[in-house]
Amino acid sequence: MKPKVAFFDFTSCEGCQLNKLNLENDLLDILKHIDLVEFREAMDDKADFYDIAFIEGSISSPSCVERIHDIRRRSKILVALGACAVNGGVNAMKNLHPIDEVRETVYKEDKYLFATLPAMAVSAIVKVDYEVHGCPMTQQDFLKLLIALVLGKEPPKYGSPVCVECKLNENECLYNRGMVCLGPITRGGCDAICPSFGQFCTGCRGLLDDPNLDGMLEVMTSHGISLDEAKKRMLLYNANEVQL
């Protein structure tokens, strides 16, 4: 029996789903091994039960809370797909400002027209069985997890920082090139794609299990940016995780 697989989007840009549709060379092979039963962005069908439910996006409104309960109840395995679902991602930056100010910023006098909550990880509301990190998630990460789940095996975990893969790629450290980078505290598994293309790590895969945040701030400030700026950089993808 092929597993019944579904994709759901919550508060997000839907870029992780798009990355999946961008698996052009592998898409038809993948579809041979799963039974895709629900994927609103690309198809009309609906189903009652899912072996694997992939959740993209943060929980940020009362209707999101209701929907995720309903999906969890009908799912055997639930996977958080991408930074928004794993820890709130960039959405969580709104949590750094007073909620009424945030509402007024956008809707002014109509600020109570639409109900909103702080942007939360899926795991803040229901049990999450597995996580695919990144903004966007990488196609390879997603494939590795999907293959493991289809085979009934345990998916790989990434415990080392982005710096490890960056060194394996023989990149010159961006700090030596006058940039400020979050590689030392960020969970790897992305093949250090941003530093390899000359751009600093934004921390999109979330923090390591045991990151040295004080040490990171010291490194950043010793390379010429203010403590305030260093903290802001650290919060870009980790507003729900870092307490500074």
Stretch that binds other proteins, among 14-22, 68-76, 154-162, 210-218 (CB under 8 A): 14-22
Q: Residue 30 interacts with other proteins (CB under 8 A)?
A: no
Closest to other proteins by CB, 93 vs 145, is 93
CA distance 219 to 232: 14
Look up residue 211 and give its two tokens.
């990151």
Considering only CA atoms, which of 125, 144, 179 is closest in space to residue 26? Answer: 144
Interface pattern 193-212 for other proteins (x via CB under 8 A): xx--xxx--x----------
What are the C-alpha distances in Å from 21 to residues 38, 185, 209, 216?
14, 31, 31, 36
Q: Residue 233 interacts with other proteins (CB under 8 A)?
A: yes
Interface pattern 45-64 for other proteins (x via CB under 8 A): x--------------xx-xx
Shortest distance, position 203 Cβ to other proteins, whole Å: 11
Q: Residue 119 interacts with other proteins (CB under 8 A)?
A: yes
CA distance 207 to 184: 9
Q: Is residue 44 classed exposed, middle or buried when 0-12, 13-18 and 19+ CB atoms within 10 A define those classes?
A: exposed
Q: Which of 25, 154, 209, 243 binds other proteins (CB under 8 A)?
A: 25
Stretch that binds other proteins, among 73-81, 120-128, 157-165, 191-199 (CB under 8 A): 191-199
Helix (H) or strand (E) holding 20: helix 15-21
Strand 75-81 and strand 50-56: the pairing is parallel
CA distance 222 to 220: 5
Shortest distance, position 139 Cβ to other proteins, whole Å: 10
What is the binding site for other proteins (CB under 8 A)? 9-19, 21-22, 24-25, 27-28, 31, 36, 39-45, 60-61, 63-64, 89-91, 93-94, 97, 101-108, 110, 113-114, 116, 119, 135-136, 193-194, 197-199, 202, 229, 232-233, 236
